[in-house]
A = this chain, B = another copy of it.
Amino acid sequence: MVVHDKQNRTPVRRVTLEDVAKQAGVSRAMASLVIREEPGPTSMTRLRVLAAARMLDYRPDRRARSLASPTSRLIGVTFGGAGHFHFDLLEGLYAAAADHGYDLILSAVTPERGEQQALDSLADFRFDGLVMLGPPVAQPAMAGTIPMTVMGWSVDHESVDVVRTSDEHGMALAVNHLADLGHRRIAHLDGGRGLVANARREAYIRAMGQRGLGGETMVVSGGEDSLDGLRAAGELLAAAELPTAVVAFNDDTAAAAVSLFAREGIDVPGGISVVGWDDSHLAHNPAFDLTSVAQRPHEMARAAIERIVARCDGLDVQGREIVLEPTLVVRSSTGRPPAMDR
| Contacts from A to B (Cβ < 8 Å) | 1-4, 7-9, 11, 14, 59-64, 66-67, 70-72, 81-82, 87-88, 90-91, 94-95, 103-108, 110-113, 120-128, 145-147, 159, 225-227, 230-231, 234, 252, 255-256, 259-260, 263-264, 282, 287, 311, 314
Contact = CB atoms under 8 A, between A and B. Distances in A.
Copies of this chain, count = 2
Contacts of A2: 70-72, 126, 128, 146
A259 B227 contact: yes
Contacts of A106: 105-108
B90 A108 contact: yes
Contacts of A14: 126
Contacts of A95: 112
Contacts of A104: 121
B61 A124 contact: yes
Given A106-B106, A230-B230, 16 more contacts: A1-B122, A1-B127, A2-B71, A2-B146, A4-B147, A8-B147, A14-B126, A82-B82, A90-B110, A91-B110, A94-B110, A94-B113, A226-B227, A227-B282, A230-B259, A263-B264
List 9 A-B pairs, minimum CB-CB distance, nearest first. Answer: A106-B106, A91-B110, A226-B226, A63-B63, A62-B124, A1-B123, A2-B128, A82-B82, A63-B67
A275 to B, nearest CB: 17
Given A61-B124, A108-B90, A124-B62, A67 B70 contact: no
B121 A103 contact: yes
A125 B234 CA distance: 50
Contacts of A81: 87
A9 B226 CA distance: 46
A112 B297 CA distance: 13
Nearest to A111: B91
B120 A59 contact: yes
A47 B78 CA distance: 35
6 contacts: A1-B122, A4-B146, A61-B126, A63-B63, A90-B108, A227-B252
A221 to B, nearest CB: 14
B87 A108 contact: yes
Contact of A103 (B70, B124, B287, B311): B124
B126 A63 contact: yes
Contacts of A260: 230, 260, 263
Contacts of A127: 1
